[in-house]
Structure 1
Amino acid sequence: MKWLDTLERKFDRFSIGNLMQYICLTMAALYIFAAIQPNVPIFSLIALSPYRIMQGQIWRLVTFIFMPPSSGLLAFVAIYFYYWLGQNLEYYWGTTRFNLYYLFGMIGAIIAAFITNSTGTSDYLNLSLLLACAALFPDTEVLFMFLIPMKMKWLGIIDAVLLGWLFIIGNTASRVSLIFSLINFLIFFGPKLFDRIRYKMRYEKFRRQMRQPPKF
């Protein structure tokens, strides 16, 4: 995509190296702080709240990406996995392109929050990292939950099925949030996926035509 290449060149001087390292370390630090100081509503102070943003709390446009993904020990597993995904994407794409991928996801999450007037999270945004890695490194094997060896393509399929199910059972707000938070994946991989689907449809049509007996 030429426009993306142009944007990458212009954005290069503003890019942040090891972006996911900073994000994940901040996630972990905030999680530990919340556990030590449960009376301090730290997460409510950084959440993506359109109402609070319109009141002048503009830091929320950025700080929502530091919200930990879950509670308990699984939070640290998820945070480490997000770090691993981000580092691999940055190594493959380069710092600037990975920054753009994450930035597009952030913008999508912000737009969704304002459209639905609901508090947004970075959950779908971080899941888009998994979809990107599954598309780029389908045969790379990881230890799911540090126990089960599984290829990235299967994790990506599970992620896609889960997102599809959430879209079906969710309300309008959650559907809008899901779609817009994955806008980065659609921008980066949508054209190739559509081309692949179109090619497969043409190939299947050709096979059906070849099976038909010739007419004289």
Structure 2
Amino acid sequence: MNWIDRLERKYSRFAIKGLIKYIVIAAAFIFVAVNLSDKINYFVYKTLTLHRDGILQGQVWRLITFIFIPPNKNIFVIFALYVLYIFGSSLENMWGSFRFNLYYFIGVLSAIIAAFIAGSASTVYLSLSIFLAFAYLYPNFKLLLFFIIPVKAKYLAWFNVFFVITTLIFANIEDKVAALFSFLNFFIFFGRDFWRKWVTPKISAFLKKRRRRKFKVIVPPKKFEFVHKCRECGITSKEFPNVFFGYCKICGSDYEYCEEHINNHKHTT
């Protein structure tokens, strides 16, 4: 029994069932409100988002309210909320309410830590962590991208990983910290399995290849060795390397004899 199982046995009664449903409904309501009124838009993004300075000034509600705030007013937020509901509901159905709650709130904690380091944070990477968990468990699930293009979850996951990597390289410090912490809940839940399935086999294959290269015996090509043979007695220069061999001037260059028979043999002509 791992630590998650132990926590579930103790605190499962505190889990919020259908958590992602409430979050998506609240986020959708706020999305509509901020698009209808500039005053509401100003109020929401000024007082409810996750900012370190505001929290330190006593606005502790920001620690919770930010999870309901859409990252922007773009129309594609509707699609993002739709897929967030699908992925979150699927994870809750598979894990149960407690484990999904735990995964989500570890992500919330990660965002809060990132905000205190970088100054602010949003729900972009929190939502990304849910998608990565879903794609890891259901890599071949087909999703209609923008309700039109069918794409497997694993391909979108790799695209998002690429996005995070480029963020870590090129973005400002705020986004770098947020991106770095976005994988915290994923690696807490899947790190061991990910290492065993993906990293360990690659390391083993690399080390095996390296050992083969290190201990590979390279056999040099054999040099051609000319062997002299006495036509009279049959001994060779390989058997008797100290014996002199020569050709008979009378018999011709095709007839070779050892030093004993070079002058003591029956000529062929």
TM normalised by structure 2 equals 0.74
**Residues 48-76 of structure 1, C-alpha deviations (whole Å, 9 max, x = no match):** 11211122211110110111133232111
- 8 A Cα contact 2:24 2:81, kept in partner: yes
How many Å separate the matches in 1 of 2:110 and 2:102? 12
Q: Name the structure with the higher helix share.
A: 1
SS in 2 for 1:150: strand
Q: Provide structure 1 residue ranges, at least 5 long, that are not aligned to the other structure.
A: none
Letter in 2 for 1:103: F
User: What is the CA-CA distance between 1:9 and the residue it aligns to?
Assistant: 2.2
Partner of 1:139: 140
Letter in 2 for 1:20: I
Question: What is the RMSD of the two structures over their aligned residues, measured on CA atoms?
Answer: 1.9
Partner of 1:72: 74
Higher relative contact order (CA 8 A, sep 6+): 1
Of 37-46 and 182-191, more deviation after overlay is shown by: 37-46
- Is 2:165 aligned against 1:164? yes
Partner of 1:176: 177
**Residues 114-164 of structure 1, C-alpha deviations (whole Å, 9 max, x = no match):** 122x12111101011111111100111111111111111111111101111
- 8 A Cα contact 2:34 2:73, kept in partner: no
**Residues 28-50 of structure 1, C-alpha deviations (whole Å, 9 max, x = no match):** 10011112221232222210112
Letter in 1 for 2:193: K
Partner of 2:16: 16
Q: Provide structure 2 residue ranges, at least 5 long, that are not aligned to the other structure.
A: 220-269
Partner of 1:194: 195
- 8 A Cα contact 1:113 1:177, kept in partner: yes
SS in 1 for 2:50: coil
- 8 A Cα contact 2:121 2:174, kept in partner: no
- 8 A Cα contact 1:112 1:177, kept in partner: yes
Partner of 2:116: 114
- 8 A Cα contact 1:109 1:125, kept in partner: yes
Percent sequence identity is 37
- 8 A Cα contact 2:128 2:182, kept in partner: no
Structure 1 stretches of 4+ moved >4 Å: 207-216
How many Å separate the matches in 2 of 1:39 and 1:144? 33
Letter in 1 for 2:194: L
Q: How many residues in Structure 1 have an aligned counterpart in Structure 2?
A: 215
Of 6-15 and 59-68, more deviation after overlay is shown by: 6-15
How many Å separate the matches in 1 of 2:88 and 2:154? 16
- 8 A Cα contact 1:47 1:121, kept in partner: yes
Give the structure with higher Rg (CA).
2
Letter in 2 for 1:75: V
SS in 2 for 1:70: coil
